[in-house]
């Protein structure tokens, strides 16, 4: 499948590499291609494009840009390159203006995922993977053999099903469908607990399991 991954950070790199490893045709998108040259030298199956080239390439597009930059990045990617496509939003609206630990720039009665959905109403936004670090996103079995949960939120049931299939191909066993995209308010807010777990446990190879 043709995949476009917007972003140049750890999440974008991890997702791009994993998708390529699984046989997909991947373009990673950034306005600062030089940042990715070193990484690309060991990931030669992934091509580098602009935001717009990357979104145009993807049958499915990932938003792995910094949350505070996502709306701008998606605007540069272009509405016409996102229309009728699934946009997998893995970003978090982390506000580091006061250092670590971060706060969030949007919270409570809204979420970054919903802001993106409102800005691109013809795109099928699916929020997932934002509750774990990049390596766990793409290699969930490396934490307790996958005995933990990833969440998924979105308004389009078919789009969620396609993303669930992709998550399973990454190795995810426990995929928790929270419901419509407004439930991303919950998973984005959880990041404020995640950063504290990370701060205490001295490893980012962590996640939570829902227990009942």
Question: Is 143 a residue that touches a copy of itself (CB under 8 A)?
Answer: yes
Residue 8 token pair: 């140049």
Question: Is 39 a residue that touches a copy of itself (CB under 8 A)?
Answer: no
What is the 3 state secondary structure string of 132-152? CCHHHHHCHHHCHHHCCEEEE
What is the 3 state secondary structure string of 25-66? EEEEECCCHHHHHHHHHCCCCCEEECHHHHHHHCCEEEECCC
> Nearest Cα to 30, choosing from 87, 60, 72?
72
Cα–Cα distance between 1 and 11 in angstroms, integer? 19
- Binding part of the chain for a copy of itself, among 35-43, 77-85, 93-101, 113-121 by CB under 8 A, reads 93-101
Residues 177-206 interacting with a copy of itself (rule: CB under 8 A): 177-179, 182-183, 185-187, 189-197, 199-201, 203, 205-206
Q: Which of 9, 40, 50, 107 binds a copy of itself (CB under 8 A)?
A: 107
> Nearest Cα to 127, choosing from 47, 75, 70?
70
- Binding part of the chain for a copy of itself, among 12-20, 48-56, 77-85, 144-152 by CB under 8 A, reads 144-152
Question: Is 208 a residue that touches a copy of itself (CB under 8 A)?
Answer: yes
Adjacent-strand bridge partners of 104 = 94
Instruction: Pick the closer one to a copy of itself by CB: 123 or 131.
Output: 131
In whole angstroms, the minimum distance from the beta carbon of 199 to a copy of itself comes to 7
Residues that bind a copy of itself (CB under 8 A): 95, 98, 101, 103-104, 107-109, 143-144, 147-148, 176-179, 182-183, 185-187, 189-197, 199-201, 203, 205-212
């Amino acid at each position: 499948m043709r995949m476009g991954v917007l972003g140049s950070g750890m999440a974008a790199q991890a997702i791009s590499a994993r998708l390529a490893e699984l046989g997909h045709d991947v373009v990673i998108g950034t306005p600062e291609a030089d940042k990715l040259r070193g990484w690309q030298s060991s990931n030669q199956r992934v091509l580098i494009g602009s935001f717009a080239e990357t979104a145009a390439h993807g049958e499915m597009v990932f938003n792995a840009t910094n949350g505070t930059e996502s709306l701008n990045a998606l605007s540069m990617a272009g509405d016409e390159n996102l229309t009728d496509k699934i946009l997998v939003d893995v970003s978090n609206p982390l506000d580091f203006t006061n250092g670590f630990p971060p706060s969030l720039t949007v919270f409570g009665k809204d979420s970054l995922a919903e802001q993106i959905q409102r800005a691109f109403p013809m795109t099928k936004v699916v929020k997932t993977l934002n509750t774990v670090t990049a390596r766990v996103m793409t290699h969930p079995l490396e934490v307790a053999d996958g005995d933990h949960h990833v969440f998924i939120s979105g308004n389009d049931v078919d789009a969620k099903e396609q993303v669930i299939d992709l998550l399973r191909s990454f190795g995810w066993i426990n995929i928790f469908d929270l419901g419509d995209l407004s439930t991303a308010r919950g998973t984005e807010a959880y990041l404020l607990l995640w950063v504290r777990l990370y701060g205490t446990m001295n490893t980012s190879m962590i996640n939570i399991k829902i227990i009942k």
